[in-house]
Structure 1
Amino acid sequence: MAASQTKELWPIRRHIVAVVLTGLGVFAVAVVLLWLALGLPAAPSADTRLNVVKIALSVVAGVGGVVALVVAYRKQRIGEAAEARERGKVLNERFAGACAQIGHEKPTVRLAGVYAIASLADQWPEQRQVCIDVLCAYLRIPYEPATDSPWYHDEESEVRLSITSVLSDHLRPGAPVSWQGHEFNLLRAVLRSADFAGIELTGGRLLLSLARFPGGWLSFDGMHVSGGEVWFGGASFEGARVTFEKAEFSGGRVQFEGAAFTGGEVSFRGARFTGGEVDLSGVSVDDYTAPPVFDEWETPPPGLLLPGAAAVAE
Structure 2
Amino acid sequence: MVQPRDDRMWALSRHVAVVLALGVALFLLSACLVWVALGCPALTGPHALAADKRFDLIKISLSVVAGVGGVLALVVAYRRQRLAEAAEHREDVRLFNERFVTASSQLGHELPMVRLAGIHALAGLADDWPEQRQVCIDVLCAYLRMPYAPSDTPWYHDEESEIRLSLTAIITGHLREGAPTSWEGHDFDFTRAVLRAADFSGARFSGGRVSFSLVRLAGGWVSFDDAHFCGARVTFGGTDFADGRVTFARTSFSGSEISFDGAEFNGAHVSFLGARFTGGVVDLSGADPDHLGTPPEFDTWETPPSGLALPATLTSNGPT
TM-score interval for Structure 1 and Structure 2 normalised by the shorter chain: over 0.9
Q: Give how far 1:159 is off.
A: 1.1
> Which residue of structure 2 lines up, in the alignment, with residue 19 of structure 1?
19
Structure 1 residues 166-186: Cα deviation after superposition (integer angstroms, max 9, x where no partner): 110000101000001111100
CA contact (8 A) 1:205 1:230 kept: yes
Following TM superposition, the consecutive aligned residue runs of length 4 or more in structure 1 with deviations greater than 2 angstroms are 1-5
1:309 is displaced (CA, Å) by 7.0
Within the candidate set 111, 119, 131, 2:116 is matched to 111
On the 8 A contact 2:277/2:307 being kept in 1, the answer is yes
Give 1:57 shift: 2.1
2:192 counterpart (188, 195, 201)? 188
Check conservation: 1:2, 1:82, Cα contact below 8 A. Answer: no
Shift of residue 2, structure 1, vs aligned partner: 5.0
- Aligned residue among 270, 274, 277 for 1:270: 274
1:136 equivalent in alignment to 2:104: no
Q: Give matches, 1:77-156, under 5 Å.
A: 77-147=82-152, 149-156=153-160
Q: How does 1:1-314 map to 2 (within 5 A)?
A: 3-5=5-7, 7=8, 9-43=9-43, 44-147=49-152, 149-308=153-312, 310-313=314-317
Cα RMSD after superposing both structures: 1.3
Q: After superposition, give the CA deviation of every residue in 1:176-232 in whole Å (9 maximum; x if it has no partner).
A: 000011111000000000011111111112211000011111000111111011111
Q: Distance in 1 between matches of 2:5 and 2:139?
A: 26
State the distance in 2 between where 1:113 and 1:65 align: 52
Pick which of 107-116 and 238-247 moved more.
238-247
Cα distance in 1 for residues equivalent to 2:151 and 2:4: 48
Structure 1 residue runs of 5 or longer lacking an equivalent are none
Which whole-Å deviations, capped at 9, do the CAs of 1:126-154 have from their partners, x for residues lacking one? 1101100111001001110002x121220
Q: Is the 8 A contact 2:30 2:64 kept in 1?
A: no
SS at match of 1:89: helix
Q: Percent identity?
A: 57
Distance in 1 separating the partners of 2:313 and 2:290: 15
Q: Distance in 1 between matches of 2:243 and 2:99?
A: 40
For structure 1, which segment, 17-26 or 205-214, has the greater mean C-alpha deviation from structure 2 after superposition?
17-26
Structure-2 change in CA distance of 1:93 and 1:282 (3 Å):
same
Any conservation in 2 of the 1:24–1:59 contact (CA below 8 Å)? no
Any unmatched runs of 5+ in structure 2? 44-48
Question: Take 2:297 and 2:103, find their aligned partners in 1: how far apart are those partners?
Answer: 42
Deviation at 1:262, TM superposition (A): 2.1
Q: For the residues of structure 1 that align with 2:37 and 2:62, how far apart are their CA atoms?
A: 20
Deviation at 1:287, TM superposition (A): 1.8
CA gap 1:201/1:123 in 2 versus in 1, 3 angstroms: same
Q: Higher strand share goes to which structure?
A: 2
Give the letter aligned to residue 18 of structure 2. Answer: A
**Distance in 2 separating the partners of 1:236 and 1:309:** 18
Distance 1:309 1:45 in 2: 106
Q: Take 1:15 and 1:68, find their aligned partners in 2: how far apart are those partners?
A: 11
SS at match of 1:216: strand
Give 1:21's aligned amino acid.
A
Match for 2:307: what amino acid?
G
